[in-house]
Amino acid sequence: MSTPTTKASDGAIKQQLPSSLGHGRLKPLPDETNRLYDYYWPPVPAFEGFDPELSKFMSASADEQREVLAGLRDDPAEHGSFLHRHLAEIYAHSFGYRDGAYTRHTDDEAEKAMFSAKITLERELFDHWSTTDPEPEFADQFEAADYLDELAATNPGVVHPLFEYLRDEAPREQLERFLQCELIRNEVVDDEVALLVVGLQGMQKAVAAANLWDECGRGKLENFHTYWLRRLLSATDGWNALYEYRENHPWFAKFTSNLNAALLTRPSRKMMAYGCFLVFESWVEPHFVRILDGLTRVGILDDEVRIYFTAHVKIDPRHSQELSDGMRLQRPLLSPDEVRDIVQGAHMASSAGKRQFDHMLAYLKSMNSEGDQA
């Protein structure tokens, strides 16, 4: 039998830690919620084997791999396509869904080859694909956080002409294609944020965890940000269309996702991932406002299609600000190396985004009215 003291302290603990999901047992979900959760998420096909070119690369010796990559560098499109298509295939493994290579069974030898190829491809990505100007120097985290607030408002991704084009000119089929690309880009953002939480400390961890809790609907399935994407797919009859489209998803549409995964899955680049994510969050509101204006212009007024964007316009200005505040309030104080890494990650994100949006603008403009490439 418990002593009164134990009872009192049990009660105190319960009061401090109420269940975040409600009180007591979880309630059955409404039919509509269950219906949308009947679909596997993310809407990806099951893994059926690596691209033959990637298989060949993985079975090559380290010297042969270096030769292959060096031979591609003169042709930026070939080089970028090789890196981004193959890294995307490897990163599917890191997120653990059915499109990943060894997410339903282990294969030690094959996984060793895959991880080795991952590291070699990432080295190439950082040394020969990712470009940033020399990094500015900051005295401390406070000065750098002020700089990042400024960068969040002014980086070339924020006001990229792609989003003016979507708002003012893109015909309906181009906007619909762009929504498919956006969906693919955002389908595992909650997991990206989850990976960001790991290994952070103090206030940086708090703001990353708060962002993850928002992504997961603060425990309510209907408010998961990916639930709004499920609603978009259902409203546009888009589940099957997305499976078909994914086959032809352009290689440049994964620049930002791949950069993020490259930073998130290597512990020494943890702080770069934080800076990278801060820039990504800074884009959401200005981009989504323009996308919504474009949807209105072409007559896409259905709230089910728009909910993902309208909800984020409300939430996301706070997210970016929280990330810079998280840096200001961080204890122990960040070392000069950590401050430099955060700023470098922010610059990498900005540059990768600009390049992705440049490609996307040209890609959309080259579409004919059937939605194919001209």
- Residue pair 126/87 in contact by the 8 Å Cβ criterion: no
Rule CB under 5 A: say whether 287 interacts with Fe ion: no
Rule CB under 5 A: say whether 122 interacts with Fe ion: no
Q: Which of 354, 332, 370, 296 is CA-nearest to residue 130?
A: 354
DSSP state string for 12-80: HHHHHS--TT-SSSPPPPPHHHHHHHTS-SS--PPP----HHHHHHHHS-HHHHHHHHHHHTTSHHHHH
- CB neighbour list of residue 190: distance below 8 Å, 6 or more residues apart: 212, 215, 216, 224, 225, 226
Rule CB under 5 A: say whether 192 interacts with Fe ion: no
Q: Of 176, 316, 338, 341, which lies in the binding site for Fe ion, with binding defined by CB under 5 A?
A: 316
Q: Of 167, 319, 340, 355, which lies in the binding site for Fe ion, with binding defined by CB under 5 A?
A: 319
Rule CB under 5 A: say whether 341 interacts with Fe ion: no
Taking contact as CB under 5 A, which single stretch among the options 17-25, 167-175, 219-227, 348-356 is the one that binds Fe ion?
219-227
Residue nearest to Fe ion (CB): 225
Taking contact as CB under 5 A, which single stretch among the options 217-225, 287-295, 299-307, 329-337 is the one that binds Fe ion?
217-225
- CB neighbour list of residue 7: distance below 8 Å, 6 or more residues apart: none
Q: Which amino acid is at 291?
A: I
Rule CB under 5 A: say whether 347 interacts with Fe ion: no
Compute the least distance from the CB of residue 114 to Fe ion, in Å: 29
Rule CB under 5 A: say whether 225 interacts with Fe ion: yes
Compute the least distance from the CB of residue 349 to Fe ion, in Å: 14
Compute the least distance from the CB of residue 30 to Fe ion, in Å: 22
Compute the least distance from the CB of residue 214 to Fe ion, in Å: 7
Using DSSP, state whether 183 is helix, strand or coil: helix
Between 152 and 170, whose beta carbon lies closer to Fe ion?
Answer: 152
Q: Which of 116, 115, 85 is CA-nearest to residue 255?
A: 85
Compute the least distance from the CB of residue 282 to Fe ion, in Å: 10
| Positions in the binding site for Fe ion (CB under 5 A) | 225, 316, 319
